[in-house]
Structure 1
Amino acid sequence: MTSITIKELQSLEELKELAILEEKVWGTPPLPTHQTLTVAKNGGIILGAYDNEKMVGFNYGFPGFSNQQVYLCSHMTGIHPDFQKKGIGFSLKKKQQTVALDRGYNLITWTFDPLESLNAYLNLSKCRGIAADYTEHLYGDMDDALNGSLPSDRFRVEWRINSGHVNNDFTIEEKYAKDIPSLVNIKGNQPLPCLDDVENSMLESIEEKDTWLVPVPAKFQEIKKSDLDLALDWRLKTRKIFKALLSKGFVGVQVIKHLDHQSIHHYIFVKKQLLDL
């Protein structure tokens, strides 16, 4: 990995540089610097990742409040296109955890697309957040290259940064189940991975187990580019599955990447009551 340093951003000059990088990453107008500066001075945590003197990544979070609890909303993490897949996102999250604990936060939340399995792997497998709830079309229509014309469904991550689930040394499979059944299967002999039809009988069996696997595409962006109807099929079928699992008290805790089946990864869902949160 490239030698990267991470620091908290608080000056106007640093936040102007962040705005330039944000526009480069997302291709949309950045947050105004008067807003990010106000966040940085009022309980937010804004981090920059640097390759020498060049900012190549950032994480932007602001305080949230619900049910008499203060938490950190980690709203955006962005990495310069030339520096992606180098572990910078995870380094930013670990620094965010350290700073947040120092500030008195115990919970960090953010959202992500449930079908973007690489993001899910970072959020759940590496950081050990949990996929705690699901919102259909959360952000409405999003006019950018990443989201395209699909419904903007999102998982909300709860990252309980002071919990045993996050900080204790164990593997999900060993702790909860070694042979985890799949709630639904993949159709065979398809040029692109396609999910079986979701039968009500499948969903009615959810409470029979403490742990389930749910398949998702390994490369959802490629499916969106090749077959938008198939991408929508994945969205609607997994929406039904994820909402059913969450309604029965399950949460997403990990993504398994399969080297022998490179088109598919799997979520692990576990009953929330079993977790050390």
Structure 2
Amino acid sequence: MENVVFRRTSTIEDYKGVVEVMREAWSMETSEIVPVHVLKAVDESGGFLLLAESNGKVVGFALGFIGYSEEYGYYLYSHMLGVLPEYRGTGIAQQLKLLQREWALSRKYDLVTWTFDPHQGRNARFNFGKLGVIARRFYVDYYGELHDELNRGLPTDRFMVEWWINSRRVRERLSGKYTPPSFDEIAGEAYFPIKTARNGVVRIATSLEVAEKDLVALEFPYDINKLRDIDLESAIKWKLLFRDAVRFYLSRGYIICEHVLGNIDGEPRNFYLVVKSSLDEVLEGNCLWR
């Protein structure tokens, strides 16, 4: 992150820079972009907007606003985090989240939430693996049809993740003390309800056999975008099978707590770990595989 500065906005040009990151990061159409006047309103009304700047150019941002629930009170809803494509993998996204966490803790918030597409493996590794989020809510076609490149042609199903920023789980995940399990650690313990098979150059989902087990591993595509481009019908089928599986387990009190990346017979594979456990136990780092 050499020459990268993290700061609050100070000018209208800063907001315009955020808009350009949205446009480039997601190939987003103008109708989907959060306009400058809304960014300014959120920023100046107690919301969160932080920029990453390199050589005078906005290259990333995080945007959030305050939410409220009857169960947990006030929390920070992290609506968007974007980084220009050429700056991905540099640590900017993680630093934006860490600074967002500091901001929320300084205002006495314990919870940060946001949505993400559960079929995007890179985001799953970041959210669950690096930050330590959990998920207990799943929404079908949450945004309706979106026209950016990432969502093209697919339903916008989403996890609503919970980042309990002052929990032992998150503190130890960020410090590197509490790490996600390997595939070998869970392979003999977990139940795999989504059945898959290799079909030429890609893996596809073939069937679903749900059962109530203590530890469940839900497979999802290693690269949903590649699968969509090669075989749209199979990509949609996998999303629908995954949707049915997630709704089955979440409706029975399970918690999605980890992303596991496996390399099986030379093929990379993605899994979510789903546990029958209480929220307190998960946030304390109690797990079934160690």
Q: For the residues of structure 2 that align with 1:2 and 1:267, how far apart are their CA atoms? A: 34
Paired positions, count: 269
| TM-fit CA distance, 1:173 | 3.4
How many Å separate the matches in 1 of 2:196 and 2:166? 37
1:58–1:262 distance in 2 versus 1, CA, 3 Å: farther
Q: Report the identity percentage.
A: 30
For residue 188 of structure 1, report the CA deviation from its aligned partner: 4.3
**Aligned partner of 1:171 among 179, 183, 186:** 179
1:137-216 mapped onto 2 (5 Å cutoff): 137-168=141-172, 169-173=177-181, 178=186, 179-184=188-193, 185-188=195-198, 190-199=200-209, 203=210, 205-206=211-212, 208-209=213-214, 211-216=215-220
CA displacement at 1:189 relative to structure 2? 5.3
Q: Determine which of 39, 43, 52 is the counterpart of 1:40.
A: 43
How far apart are residue 259 of structure 1 and its match? Answer: 3.9
Deviations 1:53-96 (CA, angstroms, capped at 9, x unpaired)? 22111111111112161111111111112112222211211111
List gaps (5 residues or longer) in structure 2: 285-290
Distance 2:17 2:142 in 1: 29
Offset at residue 127 of structure 1 (A):
0.6
User: TM-score when scaled to structure 2?
Assistant: 0.85
* Map 1:1-277 → 2, pairs under 5 A: 2-26=2-26, 27-29=28-30, 30-67=33-70, 69-168=73-172, 169-173=177-181, 178=186, 179-184=188-193, 185-188=195-198, 190-199=200-209, 203=210, 205-206=211-212, 208-209=213-214, 211-260=215-264, 261-273=266-278, 274-276=281-283
**Residue 219 of structure 1 contacts residue 263 of structure 1 at CA under 8 Å; is this kept in 2?**
no
1:217-260 deviations in Å (ceiling 9; x for gaps): 11111111111001101110000111111112112212122244
| AA of the residue aligned to 2:46 | G
Per the alignment, in what secondary structure is the counterpart of residue 19 of structure 2? helix
TM-score (norm 1): 0.89
User: Which of the pair is proportionally richer in strand?
Assistant: 2
SS in 2 for 1:196: strand
Instruction: Report the alpha carbon displacement of residue 263 of structure 1 after superposing the two structures with TM.
Output: 4.0
Aligned-residue RMSD, C-alpha: 2.0
> Helix, strand or coil: the match of 1:42?
coil
